[in-house]
A and B are shown apart, each in its own frame.
Chain A
Amino acid sequence: DVKVTQSSRYLVKRTGEKVFLECVQDMDHENMFWYRQDPGLGLRLIYFSYDVKMKEKGDIPEGYSVSREKKERFSLILESASTNQTSMYLCASKGATGTHYEQYFGPGTRLTVT
């Protein structure tokens, strides 16, 4: 079974803090994704990575950065958290690039920025 884990289920941070969200997958998947999910808006892609040290901007990268130093780990960084970044953050992974394979999701991190 594919397993995608995220470092925290719930996180509360203050405005201006630097926030790290970690994601680890155990299936040797090449592709990893970070989404945020807000009511009525569906899943929106922040960044994705198709290989170690490679990253691509998604639809809403502003205010975020990512790091992929190892194949199994993909980190999302909020350099200076703001209240409009309060959201559910979902990490996902997928097998080979350019395929129809499904994405496997982690349990999500509900981030509140106060």
Chain B
Amino acid sequence: GQNIDQPTEMTATEGAIVQINCTYQTSGFNGLFWYQQHAGEAPTFLSYNVLDGLEEKGRFSSFLSRSKGYSYLLLKELQMKDSASYLCAALDSNYQLIWGAGTKLIIKP
């Protein structure tokens, strides 16, 4: 079956760095997405990886290892506004998204 695993909740301190992990098992693979979702709002796109390696975009970076079925989202210089849920989703062979349950990130001052 197809499956995405990510931690349910994480806590970090303002100004620090946090890494949110995601492992996936899909029928075929056409890339991995990370979305951010603030409470009561729509998910918004953060990143897309299809090749192995790290992609950096400002304070946020996303890493992919296709051989390990593993990705992480790295958030640096955490700000209070980064408190949100982070959704990992893998694109399968039919270009359908398989979604994880999301990781709720709590930032403490």
Q: Which residue of A lies closest to B101 (CB)?
A: A42
Does the CB pair B95–A105 fall under 8 Å? Answer: no
For the residues of B in contact with A, the DSSP-based class is loop
For the residues of A in contact with B, the DSSP-based class is loop
Query: Which A residues lie at the B interface, using CB under 8 A?
Result: 4, 40-45, 90, 97-100, 102-108
Q: Which residue of A lies closest to B94 (CB)?
A: A98
Name the contact of B45 in the complex, choosing from A45, A97, A99, A102 (C-beta under 8 A): A102
Contacts A106-B42, A107-B41, A108-B42; A100 near B96 (Cβ below 8 A): no
CA distance A106 to B44 in the complex (A): 10
Give the bracket for the number of chain B residues in contact with chain A: 20 to 34
In the complex, what's the smallest C-beta–C-beta distance from A90 to chain B, in angstroms?
6
Residues of chain A within 8 A of B95, CB atoms compared: 97-100
Determine if B69 is an interface residue (Cβ-Cβ < 8 Å).
Answer: no
Q: Which residue of A lies closest to B91 (CB)?
A: A100
Contacts A90-B42, A100-B48; A42 near B30 (Cβ below 8 A): no
